[in-house]
């Protein structure tokens, strides 16, 4: 995956702003699907939840990612608002990867805040009818008293990952000549001869060879 605006780690466009299938009801058994039934639709009503979820797939980049099956600790507050349900919280996870300087294994703790509005279906229709959003803009939607946090959590984790992970801030990296890890041998170096001197050395060696040949003759 390239940096900047990479392809999404779970195969979706990045950043995600898609409905999880308006024609398909969400599976309430999915660990990333949360019920809003107890919350109701009275603005100002709030509900706080915590949940431990396993990452369904690796979340991240080719350099560093939260491995598939790793725990995601989610702290969540759901708030009923006029437009829908406001989901605010943070997700904590542990990512593994490689140091970009020396390629040694790297482990990083990730704490990613998030906030997203899930809009009631009738409000989505109203937005489109009044032109509040254009046809190309997609909104997260409350579906059958449930919301799917998977795209929100994935995006939050990806954005919180270190852009260029290192094993330590002062990692010296690898030797550009032989690839040796410089942290293991601080005095490591190679004798480099200036190309201009190397030509003179070659001429000198040639002259010495000619002189030796003349003596033999």
Indicate the domain borders of the chain.
33-160, 182-216
Share of the chain above pLDDT 70, in %: 64
Are 165 and 98 a contacting pair, CB within 8 Å? yes
3-state secondary structure of 174: strand
* pLDDT at 13 exceeding the cut of 50: no
Q: Per-residue pLDDT tens for 123-164?
A: 665 556 565 565 656 778 899 899 999 999 999 999 999 999
* pLDDT at 184 exceeding the cut of 50: yes
Q: How confident is residue 178, by pLDDT bands cut at 50, 70 and 90?
A: confident
Are 70 and 93 a contacting pair, CB within 8 Å? yes
pLDDT recorded at residue 41: 86
* pLDDT at 84 exceeding the cut of 50: yes
Q: How far apart are CA 63 and CA 214, in angstroms?
A: 63
* pLDDT at 113 exceeding the cut of 70: yes
Burial class (CB in 10 A: 0-12, 13-18, 19+), 30: middle
pLDDT recorded at residue 161: 96
Q: How far apart are CA 205 and CA 217, in angstroms?
A: 19
Q: Per-residue pLDDT tens for 87-100?
A: 999 999 999 999 98
Q: How confident is residue 179, by pLDDT bands cut at 50, 70 and 90?
A: low
Q: How confident is residue 2, by pLDDT bands cut at 50, 70 and 90?
A: very low
- Strands 64-66 and 84-98 turn out to be antiparallel
């Amino acid at each position: 995956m390239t940096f900047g605006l990479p392809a999404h780690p779970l195969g979706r466009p990045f950043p995600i702003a898609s409905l999880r299938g308006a024609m398909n009801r969400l599976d309430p058994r999915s660990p990333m699907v949360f019920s809003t039934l107890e919350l109701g639709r009275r603005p100002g009503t709030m509900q706080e939840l915590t949940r431990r979820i396993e990452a369904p797939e690796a979340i991240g980049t080719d350099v560093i990612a939260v491995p598939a099956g790793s725990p995601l600790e989610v702290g969540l507050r759901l708030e009923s608002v006029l437009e829908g349900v406001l989901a605010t919280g943070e997700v904590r996870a542990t990512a593994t990867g490689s140091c970009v300087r020396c390629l040694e294994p790297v482990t990083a703790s990730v704490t990613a805040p998030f906030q997203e509005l899930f809009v009631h279906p009738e409000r989505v229709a109203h937005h489109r009818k009044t032109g509040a959003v254009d046809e190309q803009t997609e909104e997260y939607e409350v579906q059958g008293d449930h919301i799917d946090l998977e795209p929100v959590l994935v995006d939050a984790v990806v954005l919180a990952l270190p852009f260029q992970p290192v094993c330590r801030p002062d990692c010296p990296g690898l030797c550009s000549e032989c690839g040796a890890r410089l942290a293991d041998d601080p005095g490591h170096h190679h004798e480099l001869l200036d190309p201009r001197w190397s030509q003179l050395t070659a001429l000198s060696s040639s002259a010495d060879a000619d002189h030796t040949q003349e003596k033999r003759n």
